[in-house]
Chain A
Amino acid sequence: MSNRQKIQPYWRPNFKIKSSLPDIKVVRTGFIVNFVIITFVLIAIFSLLHRQYYANSLRTTIDLTEARVRQAEPEDRLRLENSERFRKAAQSIEELERFYRAPYFADEFLINISQLKPEGLIFSRLSFSERVIEAKVIKKKTKIPARMTYNINIAGEVSELIILTEFKAAIEASPLMNLEGYSVVVDESIQQRSAETGITPFQLRISLMVINLEPSVRKGGQG
């Protein structure tokens, strides 16, 4: 079918002289070509100008930012120094906190010890104290670091000695005396029994010594 359409009509050669015919297209080819070229050139110019403008904007922004950086540099350096000082101070404080960390609060201890107190036993004095054991070197090789020791002294009176023995056993069995990282020693001392009242004054000394500097529980506060 397509071949048939290409065949020139028989007996009808065409002598048209195309080169000298006017362009009669509704939109002339020349116009289209010019339009396309002009559009392309305009797009290229616009694109170039846009890129230049963008590059200039970036350059201005960079200059401004650099100026701000230069301006803020001394202040920043000062803040960095402060920050470094603060970090060091915080580290020291943290170490001190860890060092001085009490095994429990005083009021908490009072409540617990009061609950353990049996009938026939009274407290006349309770005291807490803490002491730093200095670091020392054993045989020039092993270094024992400094550690804290907490002493609790309970003075009171008891009607029967058996009650004191039971109280001591209760204290030793209590969770209060089984703190992780501490070694606990409970000593008792009994004074002479009053002949008039039959009451025996006593004194219990509880020593808690840190055996591990890395506590498992942070409770804070000092005794």
Chain B
Amino acid sequence: MPQLNTSTIPYIISFNMFKPKTKGLFIDISEFSILAVRTSGYKHPMVVEGVAEFPMTLDCCADEVRAFLGQFVDFKGVNYYVSRCGVYPKGRFLFCYEAESVNKLKKADFLLKVLQDEFNIDPETNSISILDGRNGSDFDIENSVSKQLLFCGAPAAAFQEAQDQLLSYGIYPDRLELSTVSTLGGVSDYARMNQLNAPILCVELTSECAHVFIMSNGRLEVARQVPFGLDSIYPLLQRELGLKDEVSAKKLFHSNTFDFAEMGRKLLRRLMKELQATSGFFEVKTGLTIDRLFVGVLPKNLSWVSKTISDSLGIEILQPDFEAWLESLNVTLADDVEIANIGPRWLGVFSQIGEFQLREESQSE
């Protein structure tokens, strides 16, 4: 064991005094809530020192969010706190693409044409990232040998809006990630860690639209956008309950005062049709059976949605064991942090902490 020379101790102390430890802050902002995780820093290994949630209401203002964050982390008198953020910008997209040959994917023009012709995405107005479909790494146009690609992104204006929103909260985004993608990365990594080889149906349901994904063996096999979301439920709810308008229905929907378990199937009928079609098509095509469901984003009071889908499709809800998963990613929990029952929706923000490529490297070694 190395002996510490006592004469060096004052220097070590003074060195540490001048190098204050900056806490890491990971934020996941959806239309429903802000999920925040405070860590010991940004470098692994790290310790989760606290988790907090701020429910986003229609009338909440930036000062309230800033006050919430001010209580959660120490701004040290400065205007911004450097954070790593995940957002759900409007118009976000994620598409799977499999090319006929690797050589075709080495031409940038071809990739742009695919985006425009097959997915109707304008590269001029959208911020786009291309990932390797096999593992979610950045697509290397020159060296990659993968035929499977993932196109993801959102309109640049939507990212700008999300970034401006973060700045108004006093959050300086060191990273601005697409939560849809990072969450899927988390699901993929969690499945690999737990050797869940059967396909997993992932649903991201928001007000304007829904995204349906099927992951199998850690790969994204299906990505589909459904052009309606929770907003399509409110007229149904209004009719079912005889409410005076959709606004009242919306308020009731998001409140904790009503149990929707019984009428859940009616309310989600349209969505269920889409999910059944998508999962059925996949199962017929591949011969695989989807046996797990992951529903992210939705707040705790809408947990009946995943229960309804699960019951309707007859598949099990994925309930991640965050502690074990984070530990495998070299992230531990502080003694006073309890996350055993916080729900799957937190997988998005925890996915921002994980360095999934390290597991891939360790497995390949």
Residues of A within 8 A of B (CB): 4, 7-17, 20-22, 24
Inter-subunit contact B127/A15 (CB<8 Å): yes
Interface residues of B in 163-185 (CB under 8 A from A): 163-164, 167, 172-178, 181-182, 184-185
Inter-subunit contact A8/B137 (CB<8 Å): yes
Inter-subunit contact B173/A11 (CB<8 Å): no
B208 interface residue (CB < 8 Å to A): no
Q: Which residues of chain B have C-beta atoms less than 8 A from A11's C-beta? A: 131, 136, 181-182, 184-186, 188-189, 351, 356
B144 interface residue (CB < 8 Å to A): no
In the bound complex, what is the Cα–Cα distance between A138 and B361 (angstroms)? 126
In the bound complex, what is the Cα–Cα distance between A17 and B80 (angstroms)? 16
Inter-subunit contact A10/B175 (CB<8 Å): no
Q: Which residues of chain B have C-beta atoms less than 8 A from A13's C-beta? A: 129, 131, 138, 152-153, 177-178, 181
In the bound complex, what is the Cα–Cα distance between A131 and B136 (angstroms)? 132
A15 interface neighbour in B129, B136, B352, B356, Cβ under 8 Å: B129
In the bound complex, what is the Cα–Cα distance between A11 and B357 (angstroms)? 9
What are 23 inter-chain pairs, A to B, with CB distance below 8 A? A4-B361, A9-B355, A9-B356, A10-B360, A11-B185, A11-B186, A11-B188, A11-B189, A11-B356, A12-B351, A13-B138, A15-B153, A15-B177, A15-B178, A16-B163, A16-B175, A17-B127, A17-B159, A17-B176, A21-B173, A22-B167, A24-B79, A24-B82
A10 interface neighbour in B137, B153, B174, Cβ under 8 Å: B137
Main secondary structure of the interface of B (DSSP, over half): mixed
Distance from A25 Cβ to chain B, minimum over Cβ atoms (Å): 11
Inter-subunit contact A24/B80 (CB<8 Å): yes
Inter-subunit contact B176/A14 (CB<8 Å): yes
B51 interface residue (CB < 8 Å to A): no
Residues of B within 8 A of A (CB): 78-80, 82, 127, 129, 131, 135-138, 152-154, 156, 159-160, 163-164, 167, 172-178, 181-182, 184-186, 188-189, 351-352, 354-357, 360-361
Q: Which residues of chain B have C-beta atoms less than 8 A from A22's C-beta? A: 80, 167, 172
Q: Which residues of chain A have C-beta atoms less than 8 A from B175's C-beta? A: 12, 14, 16
* Chain A residue at minimal CB-CB distance from B150: A11
Q: Which residues of chain A have C-beta atoms less than 8 A from B360's C-beta? A: 10
A-B contact count (CB 8 A): 81
Q: A12-B177, A16-B173 are in contact. Are A21 and B163 (CB under 8 A)?
A: yes
Distance from A50 Cβ to chain B, minimum over Cβ atoms (Å): 38
Inter-subunit contact A17/B82 (CB<8 Å): no
In the bound complex, what is the Cα–Cα distance between A14 and B162 (angstroms)? 13
Inter-subunit contact B159/A10 (CB<8 Å): no
* Chain B residue at minimal CB-CB distance from A9: B355
Q: A13-B181, A15-B177, A17-B163 are in contact. Are A24 and B172 (CB under 8 A)?
A: yes
Q: A22-B80, A24-B78 are in contact. Are A10 and B136 (CB under 8 A)?
A: yes
Q: Which residues of chain A have C-beta atoms less than 8 A from B127's C-beta? A: 15, 17
In the bound complex, what is the Cα–Cα distance between A199 and B175 (angstroms)? 146
Inter-subunit contact B185/A15 (CB<8 Å): no
In the bound complex, what is the Cα–Cα distance between A14 and B138 (angstroms)? 10
Q: Which residues of chain A have C-beta atoms less than 8 A from B131's C-beta? A: 11, 13
In the bound complex, what is the Cα–Cα distance between A211 and B193 (angstroms)? 130
In the bound complex, what is the Cα–Cα distance between A20 and B351 (angstroms)? 26
| Shortest beta-carbon contacts, A-B, top 5 | A11-B185, A13-B129, A11-B136, A16-B176, A10-B136
Inter-subunit contact A17/B156 (CB<8 Å): yes
Q: Which residues of chain A have C-beta atoms less than 8 A from B178's C-beta? A: 13, 15
In the bound complex, what is the Cα–Cα distance between A187 and B167 (angstroms)? 135
Distance from A15 Cβ to chain B, minimum over Cβ atoms (Å): 5
Q: Which residues of chain B have C-beta atoms less than 8 A from A14's C-beta? A: 175-177
In the bound complex, what is the Cα–Cα distance between A15 and B84 (angstroms)? 11
B182 interface neighbour in A7, A12, A21, A24, Cβ under 8 Å: A12
Q: Which residues of chain A have C-beta atoms less than 8 A from B153's C-beta? A: 13, 15
Distance from A165 Cβ to chain B, minimum over Cβ atoms (Å): 108
* Chain A residue at minimal CB-CB distance from B80: A24
Q: Which residues of chain B have C-beta atoms less than 8 A from A17's C-beta? A: 127, 156, 159-160, 163, 176
* Chain A residue at minimal CB-CB distance from B186: A11
Inter-subunit contact A10/B357 (CB<8 Å): yes
In the bound complex, what is the Cα–Cα distance between A7 and B189 (angstroms)? 17
In the bound complex, what is the Cα–Cα distance between A32 and B164 (angstroms)? 26
* Chain B residue at minimal CB-CB distance from A8: B138
Inter-subunit contact A10/B185 (CB<8 Å): yes
Name which of A4, A9, A24 has the most chain B CB atoms within 10 A of its CB. Answer: A9
